[in-house]
Structure 1
Amino acid sequence: MTLQRRILILVSAVLLLAAVGVLAVVRASSRADEKNRSQAGGPQITRGEVTLAPGGDGRRIVFRNMAWGPHRDELATVPADAPQGPRTASGVSCLRFHAAAGTGICLQAEKGGVQESYRAVVLDARLKEVSAHPLAGIPTRARVSPGGHLVAWTVFVGGDSYAGTNFSTRTSLLDLRTGRFDASLEDFAIRKDGKAYRNADVNFWGVTFAADERTFYATLATGGQTYLVRGDLGERTVTTLRENLECPSLSPDGTRLVFKKRVPGLSPDAPWRLYVLDLASMREMPLAEERSVDDQVVWRDDRTVVYSLPGDFGADLYALPADGSGAPAPLMASALAPAFLG
C-alpha cells in the first residue's frame, strides 16, 4: 500500500469519526433542548399513571398539557391543591377533554392519513378506549355528565371561530347506559318562545349536564341570535330560556350557569365577558374578568370557576370567584381543558 493511499484512508477515518461526534452532540443537544423546553419556566413533567377514578389520593386536576416537549398535548395530572407542581403525563393525547365519575371524553386527531381527521374517544377510568366515533369537523367543546353516563361534544364543520357569523357546528350526544347516539342535536324538537320552531340555520354548541343525567343546557344559534336552551333527553326536546348566552356551564349544586355573553361596543374579535345566571330568579351578574374569554368555563367547586386564556404555549388557566367579587388569579400555565376529580 502506497503512502498516499495510507494518508487518504487516515484522513477518511478522521472525517468519519468527526461526523459521528458531531451527530452525537447534536442529538444530545436536541434531547436537552426538548427537556429544557418542557420545563423552562414551568413544572417538571414525567410519564406515569393518570386515572379518572373517583376517590384515590385526594382531589386532582386532569388536563391537556400545553408545555412544549415530549408530553405536549397529553393528558396530565396534578394535585388540585398544588396546580403549579410537577405534572404526571399519561401518554394519551387529546385536543379537547373532560371527565367525571370515572368517564372521560377525548377529542383527538387521527394519526396517519393524507387529510387531517378527528375522532371522539370515550375513556374509562384507566384512560383505556371504550368506544370511538369519527368527527365531522374540528374539535371545540366536550362534556361528561356528573354521573359519568352521558357525553357530548361539538365540532366546527364550517368556519373555525365563534367570534364571527360564518361558522357551522355539530353537537353530538352519547348515552353510555343505552348506547344511544344522537349524531346531531339538530334532530331534537325545538320550542322557541313557546312555539315549535325549525330553521335551516340552527346550530348548537356548549352542552352542560345536570345531575339527573337527563337534563342539559346548551347554546342555540339561529337568525343571528344566540339562546340558552334547556334540553330533555327523554323527550328529545330543547326549549329556549334566554337570549345572548353562549357556552353555559352548570354549577355543581345545579343552581347557576356561568356563560360568556356578547357585550355591545367590544371588538368583534373579542366580544365576550363572563356572567353568572341564577336559574331560580333568571338574574344575571357580571364576573370580575375584563378580558374576552372564548371558553366553556369549568367549576372548581360551587364558589370558583376556571377558564383558559391565550398564553405563551397556547393556553393558560385562571381561577375566578363565581359571585362577582375578587379578581382573576393565574392557576396553571400551559394547560387547557381541565377536569376537577376526586
Structure 2
Amino acid sequence: MVTQTAQSPALPTDMMAIGIPVPGGPEALVPQRLPIPVPGEGEVLIRVAAAGVNRPDVLQRMGKYPPPPGAPDTPGLEVSGTVVALGSGVDAALMGQAVCALVAGGGYAEYAVAPAPQCLPVPGGYDLIEAAALPETLFTVWTNLFERAYVVAGDTVLVHGGTSGIATMAIRLCNLFDITIIVTCGSDAKCKAALDWGADHAINYRDADFVTEVGRITEGKGVQAVLDMVGGDYLPRNLACLAPDGRHVSIAVLGGAKAEIFIPQIMQNRLTLTGSTLRARSVAFKGLVADELSRTVWPFVAQGKLRPAMDRTYPLAQASAAHARMEAGDHVGKIVLVVE
C-alpha cells in the first residue's frame, strides 16, 4: 500500500529515466519514459534531485554487471532527493524529508524507490547534489576499510586509484579518524590533487614502484591495510606492502581477476585476505551499515566536515557524457547527474 500526505501533490504517472536498450559504449545510455515505480513494503519513493555515477554503472552499461534479482534495469546506485510516497510499514515521519539513499539500481531517473533503512537524512544546508555523491562510496569504504580491515587511529593504509570516488572518500574518512593514508595515482597532477584533498602521501605509479615507496614512507614497517580495486598482478605487490598481521581487502578487479601469490608469505606474516561486494547484500545488512554510519559518521556530515570530492555534474539526459568522462579517467572525485 502506498500512502501520501494530503499536502503532497498528485504524482505524475511516468518519468524520464536512462535505459540501456543494448549494452555498449556511453552512447548505449538512452533517455526514455517509464512508469513511476511504486514503493513496496518498507520502501519509500524519492523525487530524485541528483544521482551519483559509479564504476559499476559503467560495467552494467557494458553488459558486464547485471543488476541483482529484483533490482531495476535502470542504472544508478545512489540518489538524493525528497521522499514523496511511502510503502506500508514505513514511518510517516519520512514523508517530505530530504534524504540520500543507497539503491540496488534505478537511480538514473526522476523518481526512484529505496528501502527505508538505506536512507540517511540530508542535514539542513547540505547541498543535495553533494549528498547524492555520498552513499555508494561511503558505504563501500566504511564496510571494507573500517569493518573488514578494522583500521583504527594510528594505522597507515594504502589505497589505489587515489583520485577516484572511493579513494577520495577514503582520504576524508582517514583524515577524520586519525589514520595515515597513502594513495597511488597515474600522474603528478593527480598526485597533487590527492594531496590537496588530504592524502598524507601520493605515489605516481608510472614513475616509481609503489612497493618500494611504501617501504620508504613507512620506514620498512609496512601498512596495516590495503584497499584494492585493481586486482591482477597488484595483489602480490600489495601483500609485499603489508605489515605483519596486515589486512588486504579486494573490492574490484579492474586490472584482472586472477593473481599468483606466495602462500608462505601469508602464513609467516599472518596476513588476512578478504573482500566483498555491496550491491547484492541484503537490505538488513545495508540497514545495519546505515545505522552505524548514522552514529559514527553522520555527525561529521551534519557539521559540514565530510563532503565528497566533486568533479563535474551533468543533466540526467546527458548520462552518456558523464560515462564518457568517467571512462576517460580524467575525473577527480565524483561525477553526478542532476535532475532539472
Shorter-chain TM-score: what band? under 0.3
User: TM-score normalised to the size of structure 2?
Assistant: 0.28
Structure with the bigger RCO (C-alpha within 8 Å, sep 6+) is 2
Give the number of the structure whose residues are more often helix, by fraction. Answer: 2
User: TM-score normalised to the size of structure 1?
Assistant: 0.28
Larger radius of gyration: 1
